[in-house]
Amino acid sequence: MDEVPAERDGTERSGAERIARLPSLSAAVRIARAEVADRAQALGDLRDAELARLELLREMLEPVLAQVPPEVDLFDAGLVPGEHPRLFIDMVCFVEMARDRRSYRLIQDRRHARTVLHEGEGASAAVAAVTAYIARRLVEREQLLASMGRAATVAPPPAAPKGPEPGRRGRALLRAARLAVDGLGVATLGGLVWLGLHFAHGRLPNW
């Protein structure tokens, strides 16, 4: 009689253990949500740190950009937030943080290639790299303007537009007109000679 409760107690205990060992989806969802929230907070903190570093770099570049001639509108340092914040120097060059979140990367983004002009820690080194890039762009602009000026000086003046050349019929009409003018001139000259002779014959009948 005492063995039956003992067997029942063992059965209940093993069933409870099996239920405890079964995976709980709701518990797993709660754990996943907590992990996603932690990662989002960490990524948000990293983005805030990148924005702070790039904002500091932008402030350090203000004295350099203030020395750019006022007629040059190539450069406009603008901070663009996002998943990967970037500090644009001009339309094709920007600064972003490297994977270690501490190094500055100066990147020139062309249509067919992307070139890393500088990468390293320290905002001062990044300022020096950006300053050198701005100087090169100014020199390229000067050379381009000089070459355009030389081309405008050497280029010959545009030729005056020519009228349409006359066709075969037009050329024949021009020749006929010239012949008529020439014939009229000969007839006029002959008439003048005849008048002269007639006048001379009237004055000198025995001539």
User: What integer pLDDT is reported at residue 56 of this predicted model?
Assistant: 92
Q: Which whole-number Å values give the CA distances from 190 to 14, 57, 161, 187, in the listed order?
A: 148, 100, 43, 5
- 95, pLDDT greater than 80: yes
- The pLDDT value recorded for residue 4 is 47
Residue 159 DSSP SS3: coil
| Residue whose structure tokens are 């490297």 | 98
Say how many Å lie between the first and final Cα of the chain, rounded: 189
Given a contact cutoff of 8 angstroms between Cβ atoms, the answer to whether 64 and 131 are in contact is yes
Domain boundaries, the chain: 29-150
pLDDT > 60? residue 99:
yes
Q: According to the model, what pLDDT value does residue 86 have? A: 95
Q: Tokens standing for 116?
A: 């890393």
SS3 65: helix
Top-confidence residue, 60 or 21: 60
The sign one gets for the Cα dihedral 91, 92, 96, 99 is positive
